[in-house]
Amino acid sequence: MMRKKGRVYIVGAGPGDPELISVKGLKALKRADCVLYDFLSSPLLLKHVKKSAKKICVGKSDRIHLKEQDEINRLLYNNSLKFKHVVRLKGGDPFIFSRGAEEARFLLESGVDIEVIPGITSAIAGPESFGIPLTVKDKVQSVAILTGRKRDPSADIDAPDCETLVYLMAVANIANVVKALVKSGRPASTPCAFMEKVTTPEARITKATIETIADEVKRRRIKSPAVLVVGEAVNYFRES
Ligand SMILES: C[S@@+](CC[C@H](N)C(=O)[O-])C[C@H]1O[C@@H](n2cnc3c(N)ncnc32)[C@H](O)[C@@H]1O
């Protein structure tokens, strides 16, 4: 007789510091019989996984894809047939600029039971870990999280009318992000900051303005993963 299908937990690992996973996410990880993880989830989290559990690196970063998405979906499905508790561990929050929603949909459509355990996204943890609030009562009242890179490289980058903009995946395409910010009518002196490897011991911040940020990326050799935040909130503490 075919074994009853297990449940797949789609877990947000948090932005880098392994202590930033949720209590619920950690419990799911400790109980897991099989874990599929990507590059952005802290390797230190894997020490919580049972020795007997199957660990599969499906390695996805901005540039390297060890496995294609179809194969990851297939692995999730096949392992849910074999194991009771399968964890899909994803960096940050599993649904923010991640294929977590596609994986969840594929599993649901395939009749697999899932549970989504949210994580702290780098979009929020990055600025906050450097003391940059994304909103400030009565002063900064809107925030948007955007991609700095689109599948079609000729597509325009979005720069909506919000007081704080947070871009993920913006390092390599910074020239086009700046173009979009200028086109949106923001002054060239608008503050912005790039934050690399947030909530890890190598975390680094570079503050600049819309006018100077592209040069700073070259000068400081800013590398992915990094979060870009744009808006007056960048200097909130300095100015208050
Ligand atoms: C494919 S997206 C995944 C985002 C992830 N789901 C999240 O919620 O943080 C990858 C991008 O997230 C950002 N990112 C993820 N982890 C980061 C970290 N520790 N430091 C800085 N940026 C990070 C970078 O912009 C990176 O290019």
Confidence of residue 4 (pLDDT cuts 50, 70, 90): low
Digit-coded pLDDT (tens) for 70-101: 999 999 999 999 999 999 999 999 999 999 99
Are 132 and 233 within one domain? yes
- Say whether both 197 and 107 belong to one domain: no
Q: What is the CATH number of the domain that holds 79?
A: 3.40.1010.10
Pairing of strands 191-196, 113-117: unpaired
Given ligand 1 and candidates 40, 89, 121, 196, which is best to mutate, with the most ligand atoms within 8 Å of its CB?
40
Q: Same structural domain for residues 87 and 128?
A: no
Predicted TM-score (pTM) above 0.85: yes
Catalytic choice (5, 60, 197, 207): 60
Assess if residue 114 is contained within a domain: yes
Q: What percent of the chain has pLDDT over 90?
A: 87
Per-residue confidence (pLDDT) for residue 220, from 0 to 100: 98
| Residue 93 falls in the annotated catalytic set | no
> Could you report the per-residue pLDDT of 131-157, keeping only the tens digit for each?
999 999 999 999 999 999 999 988 999
| Mutation test residue for ligand 1: of 45, 168, 205, the one with most atoms within 8 Å of CB | 168
pLDDT at 61: 59
Using CA positions, which residue lies closest to atom 4 of ligand 1? 97
Start-to-end CA distance of the chain, whole Å, equals 67
User: What's the domain count of the chain?
Assistant: 2
Domain boundary among 120, 151, 170: 120
Catalytic residue list contains 38: yes
Instruction: Please determine, for residue 62, whether its predicted confidence score (pLDDT) is greater than 60.
Output: no
End residue of a domain, out of 120, 151, 182: 120
* CA 197 to ligand 1 centroid distance, Å: 8
Which amino acid makes up residue 148?
G
Task: Place 240 in a pLDDT band, splitting at 50, 70 and 90.
Answer: very low
Count of beta carbons in the 10 Å neighbourhood of residue 84: 14
Residue 132 and residue 78 share a domain: no
Q: Is 67 a catalytic residue?
A: no
**Does the residue 43 lie in any domain?**
yes
- DSSP strand pairing (34-37 vs 54-57): parallel
Q: Which atom of ligand 1 lies at the shortest distance from residue 62's CA? A: 27
* Ligand 1 nearest atom to the CA of residue 40, by list position: 16
Instruction: Indicate the length of the chain as a whole number.
Output: 240
Residue where one domain finishes, among candidates 65, 100, 120: 120
pLDDT at res. 174:
97
Strand order in the sheet with 226-230: 143-147, 164-168, 226-230, 191-196, 204-209
> Of 31, 30, 26, 33, nearest to 3 (Cα)?
33
Q: Which of 90, 93, 169, 207 is catalytic?
A: 169
User: Does residue 2 lie in a domain region?
Assistant: no
* Measured distance CA(157)–CA(9) in Å, rounded: 33
The reply to whether 128 and 234 lie within a common domain is yes
CATH of the domain at 227: 3.30.950.10
Q: What is the pLDDT of residues 185-230, one digit of tens each?
A: 999 999 999 999 999 999 999 999 999 999 999 999 999 999 999 9
pLDDT at 43: 82
- For the cut 70, the answer to whether the pLDDT of residue 60 exceeds it is no
**Nearest atom in ligand 1 to 100's CA:** 6
The residue ranking higher by pLDDT, 40 or 7, is: 7
pLDDT higher than threshold 50 for residue 6: yes
Give the amino acid at 171. Answer: V
DSSP per-residue string spanning the chain: -PPPP-EEEEEE-BSS-GGGS-HHHHHHHHH-SEEEE-TTS-GGGGGGS-TTSEEEE--B-SS-BSS-HHHHHHHHHHHHHH-SEEEEEESB-TTSSSTHHHHHHHHHHTT-EEEEE----HHHHHHHHTT--S-BTTTB--EEEEES--SSTTSPPP--S-SEEEEES-STTHHHHHHHHHHTT--TT-EEEEEESTTSTT-EEEEEETTTHHHHHHHTT--SSEEEEESGGGGHHHH-
Which residues span the domain enclosing 36? 7-120
Residue 72: its pLDDT value, please? Answer: 94
Range in 10-19, 35-44, 102-111, 226-235 the model is least confident about? 35-44
CA–chain centroid gap for 111, Å, is: 27
Higher pLDDT, 66 or 38: 38
For 33, list phi and psi in degrees, rounded to 5: -95, -20
Q: How confident is the model at residue 238 (pLDDT cuts 50, 70, 90)?
A: low
Mean pLDDT over the full length of the chain: 93
pLDDT (average), residues 157-170: 98
